[in-house]
Structure 1
Amino acid sequence: MSKTLHHGLLILKVLSEHPRGLTVSELAEAVGVHRTVAHRLVRTLEAHQLCRRDHQRRIVLGTGLVSLAEPVQQDLRTLAGPVLDELAETTRATAHLLVREGADEMRALMVVEPRGALVHVSFRPGQTHPVEQGSGGLALLAHGPHRAGERPEVTEARANGYAVTMGEVIPAVTGISAAVPARDGDATASIGISVFDHTGLDTLGATVVAAARRLGELLD
């Protein structure tokens, strides 16, 4: 593995977690390199428009990342957009599309808020969490065969068709998710909602399942 590339990518990841930006010294400390090395890495990333300096000379992400990110899962995002919009409006809850990355992680690919929502759930695209944590990952695990020692919530999700977790990804927020069916049977994405009120789970679960199936049909 290239240590230089590794540190450069770490800088981008750290900056994504600090939208107000960081100084070069703060970046160096966060990544674990000397300030001179951090300065050199930042200059290289600046040359490719992957980061920039704001009016306070703090380092923030650059617009070059937009063109890099645009082709990622473009077909999936294009097809999922209307489905998530309808799900958010129907349930009046934050709707999200998660994709599995590797064996152990889930990443938020899209997050949609209902129009006119007074309260927003702090959940953003790109956010990651373990597959064993949160309704999106459990929904995918439930889509597969029973595994020895699996969480009871996974077993229950397999029976219900949707997974429910409370406060696992965001404190005080209930997640309800269903796996998006795939033609080959190996689901790698889930659709879900995040709500503060965990009443009416059966109705919300059925709505989420219907949305996941609709996206699965579009992807066929």
Structure 2
Amino acid sequence: MPDENTGRPDTRTSKTLHNGIEVLELLGRHPHGLSVTEIAERIGVHRTVAHRLVRTLEEHRLCRRDAFKRITPGPGLIALAESVESDLRGVALPVLTELAESQEATAHLIVPEGEDEARALMVVEPSRARVHLAFRPGRVDPLDQGSAGLALLSAMPPRPGERAEVALARERGYAVSHGEVTNAVTGVSAPVVRSNGAPVASIGVSVLDPQDPARHGEAVRAAARRIAARLP
């Protein structure tokens, strides 16, 4: 891995470990799997090197092969992730569950991932709704698309060229989007902001046929305040 200042390889880091982490990040973006050849091409190594990396990750259950020999994320990643953001998970789960039931819609907690992406940390589906959206935690989307990312941006300082929807979300306390992340689905989300003003997450619902987005907006705003008040 090159040093940011000199451009030369950084001898303080492990290239093999760096490549292994690149494989895991790549699989996180392609949950339906990649072949060893595709992995090699995308991280820029020989196929033999990619094969060794995959075999090592398989031994630690961090990836696995499906029936078509495509490499997918492994169950060992779940165990590693359990302790990450555990306080936020514990505080948010009962609030998410109540939100999903009261709104009869899938509720989600989204966290910022770097400067330009947002990751689904938790997803709770309603138990009584006849129809609802289903998606898995771990999904990563652009920060400037979808209500969850727009809500996070609304709690951050304005950025040059930001969308008008972000300013509107700042004004009313929640963001609304339609069909930006998933076709025909409306998202309504509000930012969860710590006492120091920093956004830690957004909480929202994904609605297939919204009758009153403002009602969902008030619900997600209230849920966001409840989570923020309980954070350590």
Which bin holds the TM-score, normalised by the shorter protein? 0.7 to 0.9
- 2:131 counterpart (105, 116, 119): 119
Question: Could you tell me how far apart the structure 2 residues matched to 1:18 and 1:143 are?
Answer: 29
Matched, 1:167 2:179: yes
Q: CA deviation at 1:8?
A: 2.0
Where structure 2 has 5 or more consecutive residues not aligned to the other structure, the ranges are 2-13
Q: Give the direction of change, closer, same or farther, for the CA distance of 1:118–1:13 in structure 2 (3 Å limit).
A: farther
Q: Give the direction of change, closer, same or farther, for the CA distance of 1:41–1:86 in structure 2 (3 Å limit).
A: same
Q: Give the direction of change, closer, same or farther, for the CA distance of 1:59–1:152 in structure 2 (3 Å limit).
A: closer
Question: Could you tell me how far apart the structure 2 residues matched to 1:128 and 1:54 are?
Answer: 22
- The TM-score, its normalising length taken from structure 1, stands at 0.87
Where structure 1 has 5 or more consecutive residues not aligned to the other structure, the ranges are none
Q: CA deviation at 1:4?
A: 3.2
The answer (yes or no) to whether the contact 2:132–2:207 under 8 Å persists in 1 is: no
Q: SS of 2:115's equivalent?
A: coil
Q: CA deviation at 1:120?
A: 4.0
Q: Deviations over 1:194-219 (max 9, x none)?
A: 11223301111001101111111111
- 1:110 counterpart (117, 122, 133): 122
Q: Deviations over 1:122-149 (max 9, x none)?
A: 5321111222222112112222455554
Q: How does 1:2-13 map to 2 (within 5 A)?
A: 2-13=14-25
The answer (yes or no) to whether the contact 1:79–1:218 under 8 Å persists in 2 is: yes
Task: Point out 4+ residue stretches in structure 1 off by more than 6 angstroms.
Answer: none
Q: SS of 1:36's equivalent?
A: helix
The answer (yes or no) to whether the contact 2:29–2:140 under 8 Å persists in 1 is: no
Q: Give the direction of change, closer, same or farther, for the CA distance of 1:159–1:12 in structure 2 (3 Å limit).
A: same
Aligned Cα RMSD in Å?
2.4
Q: How does 1:118-197 map to 2 (within 5 A)?
A: 118-147=130-159, 149-197=161-209
Q: Which amino acid in the other structure matches residue 137 of structure 2?
A: P
- The TM-score, its normalising length taken from structure 2, stands at 0.83
With 191-200 and 15-24 compared, the bigger mean Cα shift is at 15-24
Q: Which amino acid in the other structure matches residue 100 of structure 1?
A: P
Question: Partner of 1:76 in structure 2?
Answer: 88
The answer (yes or no) to whether the contact 1:122–1:170 under 8 Å persists in 2 is: no
Question: Partner of 1:210 in structure 2?
Answer: 222
Q: SS of 1:180's equivalent?
A: strand
Q: Give the direction of change, closer, same or farther, for the CA distance of 1:28–1:80 in structure 2 (3 Å limit).
A: same
Q: Which amino acid in the other structure matches residue 200 of structure 1?
A: D
Question: Partner of 1:94 in structure 2?
Answer: 106
Identity of aligned residues (%): 60
Q: Give the direction of change, closer, same or farther, for the CA distance of 1:34–1:162 in structure 2 (3 Å limit).
A: same
Q: CA deviation at 1:97?
A: 0.5
Q: Give the direction of change, closer, same or farther, for the CA distance of 1:43–1:168 in structure 2 (3 Å limit).
A: same
Q: Deviations over 1:151-206 (max 9, x none)?
A: 21111111111111111111221111101121111112110111122330111100
Question: Could you tell me how far apart the structure 2 residues matched to 1:163 and 1:23 are?
Answer: 38
